[in-house]
A and B are shown apart, each in its own frame.
Chain A
């Protein structure tokens, strides 16, 4: 009934949105895997990352894809501070406390950003704005391809970090068995800080790629994507990075399909409809068997 162009468009939009979700969900998974902490304020780090990129871009005019690195580094620092000051004191006091603490963080970051940068919608222009690549009957913005490449590179980098470096291996060890990791002499508190920082850096990457593609942003942009990222990791399996990647892509596709077939208003709600339907059938998530 539909011409292939529309379907193709849904697929490309879905893949592009999926990349943002994958980065967010992978960061959450990293933090959850190592610390078993549920950070509902993760989307706020995406927002801060977006603003840092935009601010540096407005000041210097450097190619925003290069600012990605700076933004990620800045968020490693912010993440480490948040972990040290907020999450470490309440570690092990229960999941509900972590959720409540995240609400406090959401208040602070959203409105702190509004104080610093104002609460109006803003946007930046990518240096490749207007360049498109013809795919079949469709003209796909060049930025979408760049975003997919960047996401792939970041994920490969993360994979190498986790498998080849000492710290990466220590992180995996802590994630598998915290007590065992302590016994063999791993400083798990240091690993916590690093994991939290890295998770936040991935959120910053997601935020940067989001604004670079010309999307508008404001201080309240982070909450919904973060909750969707949670839905993704529940669906894809806690602590499973391949699960997050597949889940992220499917979520991006489902959402853009729903926006097209049901109307744009359903874009946000559809992910929760899927989540609730899945949880009715499988209360532990699609692939979650053991886990928390």
Chain B
């Protein structure tokens, strides 16, 4: 009984992986393949945000790291001719470096001060991109970004899909490893009670900075992948939308869990695209907002806790039944 959820999780992972591997063969629509690629990228992005939240730091400006990774990778690839598959990791390293710098400001701040600083930071970076840095970034107009794979290669979309799938799996595996390691335990300890963590010999500042660096790195990878996939980059990448999406995905899926960002991204993407098919425009956001608020109030641990919650309801319901009977029997 006790290992049942564990086994279910294992089957769930295997089923998801199998589906991810065969799905390109189930459809020949380029639209769906493209959608899947963007979904995978957002799974990385949401997981990156989630890792930072795991250490108790909720960022409202993760679009900054997403965008910095994308711009850095684009510029390095365009200037040096190194293939984007390699520059992605350089770009992400730049994002991680900036992440440490902004982390230095944030480590001593309370939750919502931190939210403010990260939100403001995204706006500052956007402003710099279109003003001082405009000669290299192209300002508001943006610049072309080298493609991951040249469209002249036959079946390049499929190769791209599998490459990005591999990076996504590697990212999630890395996050899983971090969460299970002593570092993850330290993150958890700091999140739950900083004073006690300090008493246990954990240096909160060091671990918070580490969380910032790791999270910014992965967000940078996601941003660079997206931009090399699309082939064009504009400062809109730093927009509030890009900061809010990963939060929405993670909250709906399950904050602080490994599966949460994956489940949340998949479910919300399906809902989003489904609503798009019905021709709703602004209403889509209203519905997402309502779903988000309902989830926060009624399902605070996200969709990943749904099976558990349902089981608990069933148990309560079954317990209530015989009680009702005896009352009637009397």
Contacts and interface: CB of A to CB of B under 8 A. Distances in A.
A99 B240 CA distance: 14
Contact of B283 (A111, A223, A266, A269): A111
B240 A275 contact: no
B305 interface: no
A161 interface: no
Given A96-B53, A119-B282, A223-B240, A107 B292 contact: yes
Given A276-B120, A283-B109, A268 B127 contact: yes
B300 interface: yes
Interface string A79-109: 0000000100110011111111101111110
A105 B128 CA distance: 29
Contacts of B109: 279, 283
Contact of B300 (A97, A231, A283): A97
Given A96-B58, A223-B240, A272 B121 contact: yes
A38 B110 CA distance: 12
A273 interface: yes
A104 B282 contact: no
Nearest to B128: A269
Interface in B79-137: 105, 108-113, 115-117, 119-121, 123-124, 126-128, 130-131
Interface residues of A, number: 47
Interface stretch (B5-13, B69-77, B243-251): B243-251
B289 A107 contact: yes
A227 B282 contact: no
B60 A99 contact: yes
A115 interface: yes
A272 B292 contact: no
Contacts of A93: 300
A230 B116 contact: yes
Nearest to B124: A269
B195 interface: no
A114 interface: yes
A105 B300 contact: no
Contacts of B120: 227, 231, 269, 271-273, 275-276
A205 B115 CA distance: 26
The range of chain B's interface size is 35 or more
Contacts of A5: none
Given A97-B300, A269-B123, A279-B113, A110 B293 contact: no
B233 to A, nearest CB: 19
A265 interface: yes
Interface in A134-163: none
Nearest to B240: A223
B266 interface: no
Contact of A268 (B117, B123, B290): B123
A237 to B, nearest CB: 13
B324 interface: no
Interface in B273-317: 282-286, 288-290, 292-293, 296-297, 300
A107 B282 CA distance: 9
A38 B114 CA distance: 13
A273 B116 CA distance: 11
Contact of B58 (A99, A110, A227, A273): A99
A4 interface: no
A40 B115 CA distance: 10
A94 B297 CA distance: 12
A40 B61 CA distance: 13
A70 to B, nearest CB: 25
A276 B122 CA distance: 12
Contacts of B244: 103, 106-107
B285 A266 contact: no
25 contacts: A40-B60, A93-B300, A95-B110, A95-B112, A97-B300, A100-B296, A101-B296, A104-B292, A104-B296, A107-B285, A108-B289, A108-B290, A115-B282, A115-B283, A224-B123, A265-B127, A268-B123, A269-B123, A269-B124, A269-B127, A272-B120, A275-B120, A276-B105, A276-B124, A283-B108
Q: Which 10 A-B pairs have the closest CB atoms?
A: A272-B120, A107-B289, A104-B292, A108-B289, A111-B285, A269-B127, A111-B282, A104-B293, A283-B108, A114-B282
Given A93-B300, A104-B296, 5 more contacts: A96-B58, A105-B289, A106-B244, A108-B285, A269-B123
